[in-house]
Amino acid sequence: MKIISSLVVATALLTTTLSAKEGDFYAGLQWYGLSGKYDVTDQITAQAIVGLWGYSSLKSITGRVNYKFIQKNHTDFYAYGSLSSWSWSSSVYGDETVFGFGAGVGAEYDIRGINRNFIPLFISADIGVQVASFDHYDNFAGLGIGLGVHYKF
């Protein structure tokens, strides 16, 4: 079921790619999974992350909205809010899926700031809080640090 859910999200991201105008869509990796981003406006970016490489059997599907509050010298500083579906499985407790939320801040750098002839590759780092409440998995809340790399189409 988790594989099917991941394929559905990947297909939705691909569909967005095909319908987006040039320069609005990014694809890459965000810390623990595959990521797609879409520039809704100059200041707002929607992001979907399929968390495939979580702690043990912990997986997630996350939607984020990034608000760029400072854009300067090939660097965007942003705040984000997120909603997630978290799941894990155990031979003792079975499967469990819960919803969570998060918020944080980060920065993204366009490497074309080093050399304008480089490919449109963006490197990001963020810090934030994520909260989800499982019945049998230790309550999942805390400060997290994330890294990302995205190619802009």
Delimit the domains of the chain by residue range.
2-152
The pTM score is 0.80
Q: Residues 89-118: pLDDT tens digits?
A: 888 888 889 999 999 999 999 999 999 999
pLDDT band of residue 138 (cuts 50, 70, 90) is low
**Given this model, what pLDDT does residue 69 score?**
97
pLDDT, mean over the chain = 85
Contact between residue 132 and residue 98 where contact means Cβ atoms under 8 Å apart: yes
**Given this model, what pLDDT does residue 144 score?**
87
Half-sphere exposure for 114 (CA within 13 Å, toward CB): 9
Q: Could you give the residue ranges of the DSSP H alpha helices within the chain? A: 2-19
**Given this model, what pLDDT does residue 7 score?**
43
Can you name the CATH fold of 2-152?
Answer: Porin (2.40.160)
Q: Of 62, 57, 58, which Cα lies nearest the Cα of 104?
A: 62
Q: Residues 51-97: pLDDT tens digits?
A: 987 666 788 999 999 999 999 999 999 999 999 998 888 888 888 89
Residue 108 and residue 106: Cα distance in Å, rounded? 7
pLDDT at 20 over 70: no
DSSP letter at 21 equals: P
Residue 25 and residue 151: Cα distance in Å, rounded? 8
